[in-house]
Structure 1
């Protein structure tokens, strides 16, 4: 989907280096504005558009993702995204093909940052099918893979690395423990 078709609430919240991999627009007949599920290379965005340009946006970095569950029935599907803190986003009555494409895009994005390949657990029933992605239990990938994507490690000044590390921490990409550990290492290089 081209970025021109995405709602303003999504476009104004994308990072400069963030690419949209897949977007689903879900409009229910009783609602004035649609809900969106947007899969990017860095996170999952959920936006509930309101009238008069208002919206509610939830952004889940892949590092903070715990589980993605999709139940695909004969006509529609249910999509549940669970964060590490237990908060859930639920979208029901989604198009079943779009739901399958979205979970595939999430799997591919997770594989880009994961140390080990991500797998999807599938359960096929008589009238439905379930797809489940559990975030891999990785401690190392959170800081190493994200840093390798954002930093050119050997050519940057340690002070620049500290600034970028702080940005990662402020965005919620790395935890306080990971931030402190990396910060100490960078301070030793100065």
Structure 2
């Protein structure tokens, strides 16, 4: 239940506060609380005053109808509010809410003390909401920048030897060997060069094919 005592410090109408608070209690969502409640004080007859309540999620506009037997509630969330302001006058003050779209919402005959605190509470919540949006935008920008600037995996370095060095095969001393033995020796030498990474795979295969073709 909403504790109405803290909403009577600025000469709010106790009956209006009690009626509105009882209704608002059923409208609050999880984690939502009423931060301030202001009540109209009309200069002549003030039997059915309008009320404005500020919560951490929205602004409630409460208007009695049917001679006070029923109550109409309208609300506007902080994401749909552009700014809030007030204007003081001789017979009370006006609280002005400027929505992101549509006409301004103006409530008059709010006592000066109440309209100042009403504006302070509403403006604080609006700034906190805007700051939350700014922080979310910064986080999104950081995430996008990190994804875009992620360095590519480092390529494995390839060491290439000059062709004239890579393809040189040491001469084999002439010996009395058969054609098959000679080719076998050349293939062994060629494989040794490849295993020591002195020639590339492509050079190895090319030389190997040339040796086999000479058979």
| Range of TM-score over shorter length | 0.5 to 0.7
Cα distance change, pair 52–33 in 1 and its aligned pair in 2 (3 A): closer
Distance in 2, matches of 1:53 and 1:139, equals 44
Shift of 1:67: 2.5
Cα distance change, pair 61–141 in 1 and its aligned pair in 2 (3 A): farther
Distance in 2, matches of 1:58 and 1:11, equals 14
Residue aligning to 1:44: 59
Residue 96 in structure 1 maps to residue 112 in structure 2: yes
The match for 1:34 among 49, 52, 58 is 49
The match for 1:114 among 91, 116, 130 is 130
Distance in 1, matches of 2:117 and 2:91, equals 16
Distance in 2, matches of 1:72 and 1:141, equals 36
Residues 9 and 47 in structure 1, CA contact (< 8 A), matched pair in contact too: no
Equivalence map 1:123-162=2 (5 Å): none
Residue aligning to 2:189: none
Residue aligning to 2:147: none
Distance in 2, matches of 1:6 and 1:17, equals 22
Residue 53 in structure 1 maps to residue 69 in structure 2: yes
Distance in 2, matches of 1:34 and 1:45, equals 14
Structure with the bigger RCO (C-alpha within 8 Å, sep 6+) is 1
Distance in 2, matches of 1:101 and 1:31, equals 21
Shift of 1:75: 5.1
Instruction: Point out the structure with the larger strand share.
Output: 1
Which sections of structure 1, spanning at least 5 residues, go unmatched? 117-137, 145-190
Residue 66 in structure 1 maps to residue 82 in structure 2: yes
Shift of 1:85: 2.1
Shift of 1:6: 5.3
TM-score, length basis structure 2: 0.49
Distance in 2, matches of 1:52 and 1:76, equals 22
How many residues are aligned here? 122
Q: Which has the greater radius of gyration?
A: 2
Residues 39 and 49 in structure 2, CA contact (< 8 A), matched pair in contact too: yes
Residue 2 in structure 1 maps to residue 3 in structure 2: yes
Distance in 2, matches of 1:53 and 1:13, equals 18
Residues 3 and 11 in structure 1, CA contact (< 8 A), matched pair in contact too: no
Distance in 2, matches of 1:112 and 1:24, equals 21
Equivalence map 1:155-174=2 (5 Å): none
Residue aligning to 2:100: 84
Shift of 1:76: 2.0
